[in-house]
Amino acid sequence: MTTNRSGIDHLLEANAEHSRIFRDPTTANRRRLYRVQHPTEIGASKCMDGRLHLPVITETELGIINPWRNLGGKFNLGWIGYQQTINGWVEYAMSKGRHCLKLVTYHYSRGDKHRGCRGFNYDLDQARVVTQNLKRQFDDSFGTSVVHTVQCGIETDLESLILHGDRGEIVDLAELGSPSREELEKLLRDLYPEMPDIVRNDFLPLLEGNIRHIAKIRASNRPIADAEHKEWVLALGRGFDWLHELNTALIVGPFDPNLASPIMTAGQLLLDNIKSRRVMGRDIVLMTSAPYRHTAGSEPRLAEQKARFLSTFAREVFEKNVPEIVPYLRKLTGIVDMNTRQFNVLERD
């Protein structure tokens, strides 16, 4: 990673590989079968932090968990863009006769406060209060049956999930040992008495996957430095679930009405990574994207407008607020075909 273009080339190669796997008949059929066996639509709101990748830490295939990303995992159902996409997601699920499971997540590190969430100034209590409030907004607006919302922590040292029960109990999956499926089922019944059976059945594989993942992290004895920030990409927009390399990108969705704020924080984090030499020799890539499903008509064109706008907007925010990062920036702008996860380049440095 020494030339100006190699960071972008690396991202495009990673996308091509993930798109190939996504389209491969074996994985596509496995995903289709999984969706029939586990029909619940699963969505997760998360911090932009590049260490949080739920498909990796729950060993779930891509395309199952629908992500919403913002600084700290802070969202408000009153935000227009957020509400529209959430409501569209719920409406889609109901039109297909499916339930929804919404995970409202925050993150922290059990070993060192300062490996926690910058979006909350490393204040775990505040992160828990804010995500608890977001869960309440969901419960107030959608009820607790067809849409079931779960507050969930992500502890990044062991990459374990922390489940918050509906009566305030807190369970760290890293402390469970190797429970049987029956024990996990009972745990979910105790934590979420109102969760429909079908949702519980579709939540279980994520928990089992996380328990397997925690065992691997423990067995690998990885150095703590690997759990520190090393991101060198700001991924702004939507359609990034192909980007499953941990600790590569800060991902910010277009939801916060004050979008400059998460972009500024991302810029500061990336600048910290440069200054503390955690991203030696790498470019900083400003990658913007918007997804589309219908390949004909206006949808891809509108996606194109969004991706181009986000790129210009972020650059202006950096020039004004984080000017030191501007010389390191390389631009990659594109739209993502959600049928194939192919990133189609509109513009690149």
Number of shown-chain residues binding Zn ion (CB under 5 A): 4
Q: Is 67 in the site for Zn ion (CB under 5 A)?
A: no
Q: Is the Cβ of residue 50 or residue 291 nearer to Zn ion in the bound state?
A: 50
CB of 157 to Zn ion, least distance (A): 14
Q: Is the Cβ of residue 119 or residue 334 nearer to Zn ion in the bound state?
A: 119
Strand partners, 252: 236
Q: Which of residues 26-55 bind Zn ion (CB under 5 A)?
A: 47, 49
Q: Is the Cβ of residue 46 or residue 282 nearer to Zn ion in the bound state?
A: 46
Q: Is the Cβ of residue 115 or residue 330 nearer to Zn ion in the bound state?
A: 115
In terms of residues, how long is the chain? 349
Pick the piece of the chain touching Zn ion (CB under 5 A) from 76-84, 118-126, 161-169, 312-320.
118-126
Pick the piece of the chain touching Zn ion (CB under 5 A) from 96-104, 114-122, 141-149, 198-206.
114-122
Q: Is the Cβ of residue 119 or residue 262 nearer to Zn ion in the bound state?
A: 119
The token pair at 74 is: 């802070």
CB of 163 to Zn ion, least distance (A): 19
Q: How far apart are CA 73 and CA 279, in angstroms?
A: 24
Q: Is the Cβ of residue 117 or residue 251 nearer to Zn ion in the bound state?
A: 117
Cβ contacts of 102 within 8 Å, gap of 6 or more: 42, 43, 44, 45, 86, 138, 147, 148, 149, 150
Q: Is the Cβ of residue 76 or residue 141 nearer to Zn ion in the bound state?
A: 76
CB of 50 to Zn ion, least distance (A): 10
Nearest to 155 by CA among 167, 170, 141, 177: 170
244 half-sphere exposure, CB direction, 13 A CA radius: 20
Q: Is the Cβ of residue 236 or residue 346 nearer to Zn ion in the bound state?
A: 236
The SS3 of residue 85 is helix
Q: Are 22 and 63 in contact (CB under 8 A)?
A: yes
DSSP state string for 202-231: HHHHHHHHHHHHHHHHHHHT--GGGGS---
Nearest to 78 by CA among 313, 258, 309: 258
Q: Is 117 in the site for Zn ion (CB under 5 A)?
A: yes
Q: Is 251 in the site for Zn ion (CB under 5 A)?
A: no
Pick the piece of the chain touching Zn ion (CB under 5 A) from 1-9, 116-124, 158-166, 321-329.
116-124
Q: Are 144 and 192 in contact (CB under 8 A)?
A: no
Alpha carbon dihedral 275, 279, 282, 284, in 10-degree steps, equals -70
Pick the piece of the chain touching Zn ion (CB under 5 A) from 11-19, 119-127, 206-214, 311-319.
119-127
CB of 126 to Zn ion, least distance (A): 12
Q: How far apart are CA 80 and CA 127, in angstroms?
A: 22
**Considering only residues 119, 237, 254, 291, which one is a binding residue for Zn ion as defined by CB under 5 A?**
119
Name the DSSP letter for residue 144.
Answer: T
Contact residues toward Zn ion (CB under 5 A) are: 47, 49, 117, 119
